[in-house]
Amino acid sequence: MTKYANGDPAIILHKDEVLYQSSDQIVMSVSLDGIEEGEVAIRNNDRHAGKFEFLVEQGIILPKGKNIQSGFVSYPVGELVLH
Mark 48-71 as b/e (b = at least 16 C-beta within 10 Å).
Answer: beebbebbbeeebbeeeeeebeee
CA-wise closest residue to 11 among 39, 37, 47:
39
Per-residue pLDDT of the chain (83 residues; tens, 9 = 90+): 688 888 888 888 776 545 455 557 777 888 899 889 899 999 887 777 888 898 999 899 999 999 999 999 899 999 999 75
CA 72 to chain centre: 18
pLDDT at 40: 93
pLDDT at 5: 82
pLDDT at 78: 94
pLDDT at 83: 55
- Report yes or no on whether pTM surpasses 0.85: no
